[in-house]
A and B are shown apart, each in its own frame.
Chain A
Amino acid sequence: MVALIVIFISGLLSLFLAFAKKPWLVLLTASAGLIAGGISLFTQFYYQYDFIHYEGLKFDGFAVAFGLIAILFTLLVVLTGYSSFKDKPQHTGDYIALLLFSLTGALCMLSFTDMFMFFLGLEILSIPIYVMAGSNKDDVRSSEASLKYFMTGAFATGVLLFGIAWIYGGTASFKLDEITAFIYNAEGTHSSLIYIGLLMILSAFLFKVGAAPFHFWSPDVYDGSPHIVTGFMAAVVKLGAFGAFMKIFSVTFAGLHDFWAPALSVLAILTMFVGNLSALKQIRFKRLLAYSSITHVGYALLTIIVQSPDSAFNLWAYIFSYGFSTIGLITVAIIIHDEEDRIEAFRGLVRRNPFTGFVAILGLLSLAGVPPLMGFFGKFLVFSEAITQYPWLVAIAIINSGIGIFYYLRMVILVLQKEDDDKPKTPRHKVPVLQMIVLAICALALLFGGNMLIF
């Protein structure tokens, strides 16, 4: 609770400090707020003390573990985006504040215990991102992305609310533990209202995480939004949505596992194939990232389908590794700063900027799941947990990883290649210090984080 307040207040402060026309002051406030938020989240969990009690929010181990990486990812995104934020000094505060507000929504979505807080968290998470997607007002594609995201997102929210209403009709409760108890007690004789509500909530969640067949918004939105927002959506928004997904489906609706698990398995397979096969022919980097994120959503859905006490940890590890790779790659794309955002612009990166190129390769290989990197361990945990219950699902997931390696490796080769001799040489990219720090953190995490996940 304290963490929420701290982050919200630091967002407000950065809104107003921006009027001083000193972008670094905003950055400092926001980073301090994020760090303080992280510390208070941890201490509150450690000492089990909270000065505000509300039954709708509970910061348990799950919420704290996911919340801490949400805060970390937001910090990285803010640091890496600072160089582009400060180009428009009149808006620096707005951008950073909106990201922080969105983070409070994500924290809410990780710690809710009733449907009110869930819905409120979802809205606080989404609305700033709808705005941020359109924050590049000179670019038509950015406005299009914002509108598309808003329209489809609002529709999904409507479906979700309708689903919650059906659940309320079936169980007469908004509280998660009461709904769980109701489902367990009324074994076999559930009101059909619950099933309808569950399906609607499921489709809304699949939309929010961007799984097939509700994925159509994500390539356009990822492509059109500014790089920073794409990074934030891929890391933090997805994390919040998956956290809530797991809370509701693996815990609250666990009693109806036989009902929704087959449907979700089919959709997970569909998601993997759609993402992978579409990613093969992309030429724009953020579109590739969007399709690859769809595939990764497919893998991550396995943790929700599989019922096991370790599922939450596996999901956490998976998102942890995925977020670092994406933020690293997004930072590299910002450094390259190609107007058209072509994958081709990555050619010869390693010769121009050895370290940046190195991080790009690490990020790509981690997404592909190559052994010593963190992405491999994330995948390994998810697949090894699933293999006892759903061997066929894991087999399909491994085939898909194979397809994935193809396009990731193609990009890695591009990064390693020499530039064409007949074309004018691209000059060395300047890397601001903050982005260097982000790259270094991502590189360290990708190289050594995996071993920590296992032990």
Chain B
Amino acid sequence: MSSLEIIATVLGGLTIGSALMVVLSPHPVRSVLYLILTFFLISGNYILMNAQFIAVVNIIVYAGAIMVLFLFVLMLLNLSKDNEPKSSIKMKIAATFAGGALLTVLIAALKDSVILPKTEMLENQQGMVENLGQLLFTKYVLPFEMSSILFIAAMVGAVLLAKREKQIIE
């Protein structure tokens, strides 16, 4: 194993571990903190895959901004220990069974999969941000512009849902 493979294995293991902790930890704030850790580790994985831009975006947008939203949601919900709903044993068994079945299928599929030869883009080790920018503003400029429809819809939606009505205040 090369050093790169060792790093990738350790990083992957840590990512899975901390993602598991998000689900398993009983305290919601702790879950969020583990989620932040997971995002950082995923960013590490992105860097290993030579996708620096995505790694940075992941940290700025997800670990930075989206996590703040998560914490806001937690504070909005006013979660305290006594009124947390407990999932039943039956539910847990069913979920474990379903998740385990999916995992088995995924692993089995990965085991006999044919790995395709690397494409040129992946071989090219130089400046991924530059390549991405070139593609984004030339070939994929239309989807890029269309994403602004999504953003405007999100803005309208956020204002519509979260802004208080005048009548309530009066």
Q: Which residue of A lies closest to B114 (CB)?
A: A191
Residues of chain B with a CB closer than 8 A to A97's CB: 156
Residues of chain A with a CB closer than 8 A to B159's CB: 94
| A104 and B143 contact, CB distance less than 8 A | no
Q: Which A residues from 70 to 120 make CB contacts under 8 A with B?
A: 90-91, 94, 97-98, 101-102, 104-105, 108, 116-117, 120
Given contacts A52-B142, A124-B146, contact A192 B109 (CB under 8 A): yes
Given contacts A120-B143, A124-B150, contact A196 B160 (CB under 8 A): no
What is the interface size of chain B, counting residues whose CB is below 8 A from a CB of the partner? 27
Q: Mask for B148-162, Cβ within 8 A of A = 1, else 0?
A: 011011101101110
Residues of chain A with a CB closer than 8 A to B147's CB: 120
Q: Which residue of B lies closest to A97 (CB)?
A: B156
Given contacts A15-B156, A98-B156, A131-B156, contact A124 B149 (CB under 8 A): yes
**C-alpha gap A125/B161 in the complex (Å):** 18
| A94 and B150 contact, CB distance less than 8 A | no
Q: Quick check: is A135 within 8 A (CB to CB) of the other chain?
A: yes
| A135 and B160 contact, CB distance less than 8 A | yes
Given contacts A116-B140, A120-B147, contact A170 B153 (CB under 8 A): no
Q: Which residue of A lies closest to B111 (CB)?
A: A192
Residues of chain A with a CB closer than 8 A to B140's CB: 56, 116
Q: Quick check: is A376 within 8 A (CB to CB) of the other chain?
A: no
Q: Quick check: is A172 within 8 A (CB to CB) of the other chain?
A: yes
Residues of chain A with a CB closer than 8 A to B165's CB: 137
**C-alpha gap A94/B152 in the complex (Å):** 11
| Total A-B residue contacts, Cβ distance less than 8 Å | 84
**C-alpha gap A104/B146 in the complex (Å):** 10
| B146 and A108 contact, CB distance less than 8 A | yes
Q: Quick check: is A254 within 8 A (CB to CB) of the other chain?
A: no
| B153 and A127 contact, CB distance less than 8 A | yes
Partner of B113 from the list A94, A117, A191 (CB cut-off 8 Å) is A191
| A131 and B146 contact, CB distance less than 8 A | no
Q: Mask for A232-253, Cβ within 8 A of B = 1, else 0?
A: 0000000000000000000000
**C-alpha gap A146/B146 in the complex (Å):** 24
| A195 and B157 contact, CB distance less than 8 A | no
Main secondary structure of the interface of B (DSSP, over half): helix
| B113 and A116 contact, CB distance less than 8 A | no
Q: Quick check: is B76 within 8 A (CB to CB) of the other chain?
A: no
Q: Quick check: is A412 within 8 A (CB to CB) of the other chain?
A: no
Q: Mask for A130-160, Cβ within 8 A of B = 1, else 0?
A: 1100110100000000100000000000000
Q: Which residue of B lies closest to A172 (CB)?
A: B116
Partner of A131 from the list B114, B160, B166 (CB cut-off 8 Å) is B160
Q: Which residue of A lies closest to B105 (CB)?
A: A196
**C-alpha gap A101/B149 in the complex (Å):** 7
Q: Which A residues from 208 to 267 make CB contacts under 8 A with B?
A: none
Q: Quick check: is A372 within 8 A (CB to CB) of the other chain?
A: no
Residues of chain B with a CB closer than 8 A to A120's CB: 143, 146-147, 150
| A117 and B143 contact, CB distance less than 8 A | yes
| Minimum CB–CB distance for B90 against chain A, Å | 17
**C-alpha gap A12/B145 in the complex (Å):** 15
Residues of chain B with a CB closer than 8 A to A191's CB: 113-114, 116
**C-alpha gap A85/B157 in the complex (Å):** 16
Partner of B157 from the list A4, A117, A127, A189 (CB cut-off 8 Å) is A127
Residues of chain A with a CB closer than 8 A to B154's CB: 127
**C-alpha gap A367/B166 in the complex (Å):** 42
Residues of chain B with a CB closer than 8 A to A170's CB: 113, 116
| A94 and B149 contact, CB distance less than 8 A | no
Q: Which residue of B lies closest to A108 (CB)?
A: B146
Partner of A91 from the list B106, B108, B113, B160 (CB cut-off 8 Å) is B160
**C-alpha gap A127/B161 in the complex (Å):** 12
Q: Mask for A47-68, Cβ within 8 A of B = 1, else 0?
A: 0000010101100000000000
Q: Which residue of A lies closest to B108 (CB)?
A: A192
**C-alpha gap A123/B153 in the complex (Å):** 10
| Minimum CB–CB distance for B74 against chain A, Å | 16
| A56 and B142 contact, CB distance less than 8 A | yes
Q: Quick check: is A8 within 8 A (CB to CB) of the other chain?
A: yes
| B157 and A131 contact, CB distance less than 8 A | yes
**C-alpha gap A169/B165 in the complex (Å):** 48
Q: Quick check: is B5 within 8 A (CB to CB) of the other chain?
A: no
Report 20 cross-chain contacts, Cβ distance below 8 Å, ordered by A residue: A4-B146, A52-B142, A56-B142, A90-B166, A94-B156, A94-B159, A97-B156, A101-B149, A101-B153, A117-B143, A117-B146, A124-B149, A127-B150, A128-B157, A131-B153, A169-B116, A192-B112, A193-B109, A193-B113, A196-B109
Q: Report the 8 A-B pairs with minimum CB-CB distance, sorted nearest first.
A: A131-B157, A54-B142, A192-B109, A191-B114, A101-B153, A196-B109, A128-B153, A193-B113
Binding site for B on A (CB under 8 A): 4, 8, 12, 15, 52, 54, 56-57, 90-91, 94, 97-98, 101-102, 104-105, 108, 116-117, 120, 123-124, 127-128, 130-131, 134-135, 137, 146, 169-172, 189, 191-193, 195-196
| Beyond known contacts A54-B142, A193-B110: 4 more, CB 8 A cutoff | A90-B166, A116-B143, A137-B165, A171-B116
